[in-house]
Every structure is written in structure tokens, then in C-alpha cells.
Amino acid sequence: MDLSERKKKILRAVIESYVQTAEPIGSKAVADLAKLNVSSATIRNDMADLEEQGYLEQPHTSAGRIPSPKGYRLYVNELMDEYKLSMQETERINAALHMRMKALDKVIDEAGRMVAKLTQYPAFALAAGSERMTIRRFDLLLVEQNAFIAVVMTDTNVVRNKLFRLDRELSQAQLQMLDTLLNTGFTGLTLAELSPELLRVARHAAQEAYDLIEMVVTFAGEVLEELSRRSVHTAGIANLLEHPEYQSLEKAQSLMSFLSEEEFRPFSPSGASGMGADIVIGPENVAEALKDSSVVMASYDLGDGMKGLIGVVGPTRMDYAKISARLSYFAKGLSWIVSQGGLPPGTEEPK
């Protein structure tokens, strides 16, 4: 059953007022705000209907109404205006995007911080790695007689290294041999395929350098594992306290610790959703701790087939329009930066 035009307007007025004030709103105020030329009594009737249909709720008899999760859902699906970023806002975001290019990890971490600062909500950011990543090549560099650096590079162009110290001396020739062995025997394999059997075979071939093979391959495995593990960065958790719904210590406490835990694993329902933001409202969340909070997130492209996800967590009464506009703008800019190494067109470096 569809809602009448007027009811939609009422619902919208309720939501938009509640988003701003965090206070229940009464029929009179709606009458003024929604500037339908009807009296508060009419609104009252409509609001009673809306409540019956589950779009509004009453915290207690004779307080105003507040939107229910169902109401929010209707709002974001149908009613929400596309929020236009103001000049000032785009500038702030652009300024934020001008971060020095750093290792991927740091970019992601920093992006989270920026979003937290920008939105005043706790933010999270993660890169979704793939299980199917492989090592493309190994390089070994002798730095002293008894120490060498192993450099591994994955097929997604991520490079990691580690310094190994030995208790014996090592010749350039040995290292060369090892290098060949690694590059012929252990490239193109996923984490799962780096089996112990393989190691045993290789060890044989390596003769006296058998222990080194193991060290380097173990390291390669660690790299693959680290990259495939979606590691979530969170930032700005303290921002929660600024919003009235988390004044009750209990709520704040539990949500905060949930966000700090490493268990927090946001996931985007629309998965590959190219652009625009995903919104998950209150009880739609799977995690218990998020049941009365909402999550808004946008995904961005990391190049090399990797995707990132960035978003914020806040009260159900978030300003979805504004937040999702900012997030998707930010995500788009981030894609540019990360994959092209430059900035989106039309964004000048601020002095």
C-alpha cells in the first residue's frame, strides 16, 4: 500500500527535523515545518496512520513522534534529496585528499581519520584483499656477510621486505642459487598452495641453504596472509560521545568497544556497488552492537583489482543525505589518488 503524497511529506518533515534536533517532534511543529496548508489536527491523524503502518514511533505517550528504522528506510529509498555538496565542503574534502602518497596501508588509515574528522562520526576504512593473491617474484640482497634482505612482490604489485640475520656467513653464489630456486619454485602460488610438501622438496634442492628457503617462504606466506586479511582501521571513535544518543554510557561503551575490537568487519550489502553510498539502518545490521546505529559506506577502487571500503557509524538519525554525498565524493577522489597517483581533474592543490 502506497502512502499519500501528504503522508510522505509528513514523514519527511519528521525525519528531517529529528535528524537535526534529535528530539521527538509533534504535530504542530510538523504543520509549520512541512508547510502543507492543513491544521495540526489533520497531521495528527496522518501521523497516527503512519505510526500504525510502522513508519513512526512514539517514545512514550504524549511525546512527539520519531522515525522508525522502517521510516528511515523509506526515506533513503524514495524521499531523500540528493544532497549537494557546498563549495566549502568540496574544498575541505579536496584538501583532505591531498595527502602525501604513502604505502597503501597508511593511505587507508589516514583516509579513515579524515572521514572521521569530516563527518564527526567514527569512521572505518579497509582494503578488501583477495585470497587468490600470489607472489610474483623474489629478490634477495646480500647486505653483509651474515645478513640479507628478502624482497617479495605480489601479483598486485605490493612489495614487502624483511631483513634476515644468520649466525653463519653466506656467499653471493649461494644467495644467487636460492634466488633462482625461489623464483622458479614458489612464484604464482596462492597462500593455500604454499604447502609444506613443496617446502620439503625445495629444501632438498637447496642443500646446505635449506633453512633459508624456509625462512623466506614463511615470510612470503606472512605477506600473503596479511594482505588477504581484511584489516580494518577505525578512527575518531571519540566522536560518538558528541551525539546525544550515546550520552547513555552503556550504549556508547558497548558500541565503542565493538568498534575497537578487531572483530568489527563491516561489509557492503550491494557488494560491488560502483558508486554512491550504501546505507544500513539500525536493525538491518547483522552485528548485535550495531542494532540501533546506522552505517553508511562507500567503496573505492584500489587499482590492481582490489577494492576498498570506507564509511562511518552513527546514530540512526544521521543525516543520510549529507553523509552519503560526502562519502561517495570522498571515495571517488580516493580511487583517483590511489590508482592514478594523482588527483581528480578540477582539484587544485591548495597553497
Q: Which of 281, 265, 266 is nearest to 314 (CA)?
A: 281
Please state, in angstroms and rounded to a whole number, the distance separating the CA atoms of residues 74 and 76.
Answer: 6
Q: Which of 65, 73, 233, 307 binds DNA (CB under 7 A)?
A: 65
Q: How many CB atoms lie within 10 A of CB 293?
A: 26
Q: Which of 6, 8, 28, 162 binds its own copies (CB under 8 A)?
A: 162
Do 294 and 316 meet the contact criterion of CB atoms below 8 Å apart? yes
289 DSSP 8-state letter: G
Q: Which of 159, 205, 275, 286 binds its own copies (CB under 8 A)?
A: 159
The H or E element that residue 139 is part of is strand 135-144
Sequence-distant (≥ 6) Cβ neighbours of residue 273 within 8 angstroms: 299
Type of residue at 257: S
- Write down the least CB distance from residue 116 to its own copies, Å: 9
**x/- site string to DNA, residues 327 to 346, per CB under 7 A?**
--------------------
Establish if 308 lies at the interface with DNA (CB under 7 A): no
Q: Which does 201 bind (CB under 5 to 8 A by kind): its own copies, DNA, none?
A: none
Minimum CB distance to DNA smaller for 18 or for 300: 18
Minimum CB distance to DNA smaller for 42 or for 187: 42
Count, residues near DNA per rule CB under 7 A: 24
Sequence-distant (≥ 6) Cβ neighbours of residue 107 within 8 angstroms: 99, 101, 334, 337, 338
Q: Which of 137, 160, 132 is nearest to 228 (CA)?
A: 132
Q: Which stretch binds its own copies (CB under 8 A): 6-14, 19-27, 29-37, 152-160?
A: 152-160
**Bridge partner list, 67:** 56
Q: Which stretch binds DNA (CB under 7 A): 61-69, 78-86, 196-204, 330-338?
A: 61-69
Question: Which residues between 22 and 51 bind DNA (CB under 7 A)?
Answer: 24-29, 37-42, 44-45, 47-48, 51
Positions touching DNA (CB under 7 A) are 24-29, 37-42, 44-45, 47-48, 51, 58, 60-65
